[in-house]
Amino acid sequence: MPELFNDISNLLDFFLNIIELIALIVSIITFFVIMMNKYLKALKEILSPLGMGLWSRLRVMFICRKSPVKKRAFLEFAILKTGGFPVINSEWKDIINSFKVFYSDSNQDDLHYSIPNCTPLIYKEFSEASARYFNFITRKNVKSVFGIQQSGFHWVINIRIEEAYAMPTCLLTGLLSQYEESWEEFIKRYVSTAYKTEDSSNKTNNILANELYFTFAWLLWGPSYELEYRKYWAGLCQLSYGDESNSIPAIADVETNVADGLRNKFLENEERRYGALISADILLYEKKSFFEGLRSNINPVNKYFYDKIENGDLSFGVKITSFTPCVNYKSKKYYSTAYVWLLFELEGEDYAFKPETSVAFFEHANLADNTTYEFLISTLIDKSLKHFEGIYKDPENVGRRYRLVCAMNDKIFAECVDKYTEVIGSGSELGNMLKDRIILEPKHSPTEVFAAYDEYFSPGKFMEFIEVSLDDPDSITDLGRFYTSIYIDAFKDENERETFDNFLHYLKQTGDGYKYHIVLAKDESGEIIGGCVFDYFKKSNTGMIEFIAIGKDMQSCGMGTKLYTHVLSILSRDAHRMNKKTLEYVCCELDSPEISQDSTRKYIYFWNKNNFKYIDFKYLQPSLSAGKKPVEGLWLTISPMLTTEKEVSSDLILSIIADYMRYAMSIDDPEANEEYRAMKKELSEKKNVELKDLRKMIANDL
């Protein structure tokens, strides 16, 4: 009997061991299944930096296990609750409990989270937490887990900002922000710029020290500029609390009546130049896809500002989905801007705008009411007049001339012009001083000016531009270096490649109807890193970029954008000098994806970002010289500089092509050219030709 009990005991031990082994295996498998769960990974990657522990993550995973929307909602709720700042474990318990109440009390198809104003969204910590969220959720292997199908990904929680002052303005980057609030770097830049301006040998062309101080002080915290919103407005504005330093850029929804409704609120208050105090519902979007989706709606005049926001510090885009105007005493007494300002430049021989020769006049205007606002504008203009009076009382400054550049908005600009015109026409001593010394007609667009400030004060890589001239042997040598080190490699097809002698030949050409340019870019060591060949055609008021080529080692570093911006400034100068007009179009030849050697198609994204559109017809490039063949497979693209038009006149395209052949290819009679006749035949069959989005061209594999 004892032996039987012993055998039974051994058998039970065996089965218990088996059960323990199975339990252990199940536990291990369960552990790995849990650890490999995409949602647990999301909680760890997104919220662990905010102090969320394992047990809290497991609890949330259980609470949200059945609903993809609930999973996303908790992540967003936690980011909003913490503001992106780490919190202790006991606070996570409160956050989880608060979320359960929030979710159960909400319409789950229309979740809303209220904040008093925009300031919680401004902080770097909130932006970084949001970036982790977008980066995780938009991964291909994750999107299906969270039920995401759309490409333009946005939060499931709508954020309601109870008090948001909306203005059609864009904040310009302050110098302190650009130097990451390093006063040492800021002071170094001020001192070095002041040193350059105090060249006693040429006082007439150099800004004075006090004028430079005005400009640096104006740029220090970052002024704002009012965008054109009366027409072609794509909804860009600021939602602020107090002034621009407490604001977020936002896009009013143009697919509903939100943008039009907000514009109407601005127009109601146009005389007083107020924005609108509103309660706004917003959605946060993944930034890259958000701005790509906006490009077709953007007024080219305002493109600079969209690019600035897209490349700014916030990790998300903001869309205003609805708003309710506030009707109270505060809404009638609320003008939210740090500065009202005027900008002048010292007139010189060089056409390009130079930040170091500009002088800004400004007045602080935070929360000013209408009476104070008008007073500050008057004070601002009087301040500028007083300054110039002091300038011209000094005999050494008699030869100096200043040009009005722009102002915070057109109301201030118009009042400035009216006041100066009145003073100059009065015959007074001051009027006689200013006559022929103050020019009230700008020659640069505001975006050219702001881009010049960005480039001048950028802490990034140095870039020097050289225009090649036959009168400058050094520049010809530089052209030779560019040709052998960059150009030949960029144009492997000999039929697309110009000879070096052709470049020199075109530099010799002159005429009233066009201007030919070769611009090279150098780095701080003097090495050639890129170049651009381009033309200006007077008849069509159009620039033609034949190519931009950047050395392989410097691609994707922003060098192409800097070079393109410089090219635009030269073309704008040509339009002003030769046509007395603002540049209307810029064209560019591109390799189609079928013949391009760039499999990444990065060049398509570059030109798309700069508002270039495919012109929907078969473009043929004639042979560039004897012995070469015509080239098929190229795209002719165009960027309208002043409108958002979806098509252009066929006659305009023919005019551009004819000038391009005549001036840049030495084809004296385009009508006798076979390729031109083929293009003319196709274009003559329609009055207008459609412009197509370059990204969609790639997507459709056309």
Number of other residues whose CB lies within 10 A of the CB of residue 633: 16
pLDDT for 418 equals 96
pLDDT for 5 equals 60
288 and 241 part of one domain: yes
514 and 494 part of one domain: yes
560 found inside a domain = yes
| Mean pLDDT of the chain, nearest integer | 84
**15-24, 393-402, 584-593 — which is least confidently predicted?**
15-24
The residue out of 448, 470, 504 marking a domain boundary is 448
Integer CA distances (angstroms), 256 to 110, 229, 297, 371, 700, in order: 17, 17, 13, 35, 27
527 and 674 part of one domain: yes
281 in Cβ contact with 114 (< 8 Å): no
Q: Which residues contact 43 (CB under 8 A, 6 or more apart)?
A: 52, 57, 60, 61, 75
Looking at the DSSP assignment, which residues form a beta bridge with residue 613?
638, 693
pLDDT for 204 equals 63
For residue 412, what pLDDT band results from cuts at 50, 70 and 90?
very high
The residue out of 283, 312, 332 marking a domain boundary is 332
451 in Cβ contact with 549 (< 8 Å): no
Q: Which residues contact 292 (CB under 8 A, 6 or more apart)?
A: 695
545 and 653 part of one domain: yes
pLDDT for 21 equals 53
For residue 675, the enclosing domain spans 461-699
CATH number at residue 685: 3.40.630.30
648 in Cβ contact with 688 (< 8 Å): yes
251 in Cβ contact with 294 (< 8 Å): yes
User: DSSP state, 483?
Assistant: I
Q: Say how far apart CA 497 and CA 58 lie, in whole Å.
A: 63
pLDDT for 702 equals 44
Q: Which residues contact 63 (CB under 8 A, 6 or more apart)?
A: 70, 74, 96, 99, 100
pLDDT for 60 equals 92
> Has residue 76 got a pLDDT over 50?
yes
Q: At 195, phi and psi to the nearest 5?
A: -60, -40
pLDDT for 33 equals 41
Q: Say how far apart CA 560 and CA 550 lie, in whole Å.
A: 7
The pTM of the full predicted model, rounded to 2 decimals, is: 0.78
* pLDDT, tens only, 678-687: 999 998 888 9
61-90 mean pLDDT = 91
* pLDDT, tens only, 268-302: 877 666 788 999 999 999 998 898 888 777 778 78
309 in Cβ contact with 336 (< 8 Å): no
pLDDT for 231 equals 78
DSSP code string of 582-622: ---EEEEEEE-TTT-S-TT-HHHHHHHHTT-EEESS---BP
400-414 mean pLDDT = 93
530 found inside a domain = yes
401 and 317 part of one domain: no
Where is pLDDT greater, at 185 or 643? 643
Where is pLDDT greater, at 626 or 358? 358
Where is pLDDT greater, at 524 or 340? 340
Rg (CA), the chain: 31
20 found inside a domain = no
Q: Say how far apart CA 172 and CA 552 lie, in whole Å.
A: 32
456 found inside a domain = no
574 and 695 part of one domain: yes
Q: Which residues contact 562 (CB under 8 A, 6 or more apart)?
A: 455, 463, 521
Beta strands in 54-128 (DSSP E): 111-115
> Has residue 337 got a pLDDT over 80?
no
Give the angle 317-327-236 at the CA atoms, nearest 5°. Answer: 25
240 and 355 part of one domain: no
* pLDDT, tens only, 177-205: 666 666 777 777 777 776 666 655 556 66
272 and 371 part of one domain: no
29-39 mean pLDDT = 51
Give the angle 575-576-579 at the CA atoms, nearest 5°. Answer: 60
281 in Cβ contact with 99 (< 8 Å): no
691 and 568 part of one domain: yes
> Has residue 32 got a pLDDT over 60?
no
Token code pair at residue 401: 């001339």
Residue type, 445: S
**69-83, 176-190, 282-296, 630-644 — which is least confidently predicted?**
176-190
Question: What's the domain count of the chain?
Answer: 4
DSSP code string of 495-532: TTPPPHHHHHHHHH---TTEEEEEEEEE-TTS-EEEEE
pLDDT for 196 equals 62
User: DSSP state, 186?
Assistant: H
520 and 652 part of one domain: yes
Residue 340's nearest CA partner among 406, 409, 271 is 409
> Has residue 163 got a pLDDT over 90?
yes
623-646 mean pLDDT = 80
Token code pair at residue 616: 């929907």
pLDDT for 113 equals 95
Pairing state of beta strands 157-167 and 276-286? Answer: antiparallel
Q: Say how far apart CA 155 and CA 10 lie, in whole Å.
A: 60
> Has residue 700 got a pLDDT over 60?
no
For residue 75, what pLDDT band results from cuts at 50, 70 and 90?
very high
> Has residue 30 got a pLDDT over 60?
no
Integer CA distances (angstroms), 272 to 275, 335, 529, in order: 9, 9, 50
496 found inside a domain = yes
210 and 354 part of one domain: yes
9 found inside a domain = no
pLDDT for 317 equals 94
548 found inside a domain = yes
pLDDT for 431 equals 93
pLDDT for 36 equals 43
For residue 119, what pLDDT band results from cuts at 50, 70 and 90?
very high
pLDDT for 598 equals 64
**276-290, 316-330, 593-607 — which is least confidently predicted?**
593-607
Number of other residues whose CB lies within 10 A of the CB of residue 584: 16
The residue out of 279, 303, 332 marking a domain boundary is 332
283 and 325 part of one domain: yes
> Has residue 364 got a pLDDT over 60?
yes
Q: Give me the count of residues in the chain.
A: 702
Integer CA distances (angstroms), 134 to 148, 153, 158, 620, in order: 12, 8, 16, 43
6 found inside a domain = no
Residue 149 C-alpha from the chain's centroid? 27
Buried b (16+ CB within 10 A) or exposed e, 498-521: bebeebeebbeeeeeebbbbbbbb
Classify residue 331 by burial, with Cβ atoms within 10 Å: 0-12, 13-18, 19+.
middle
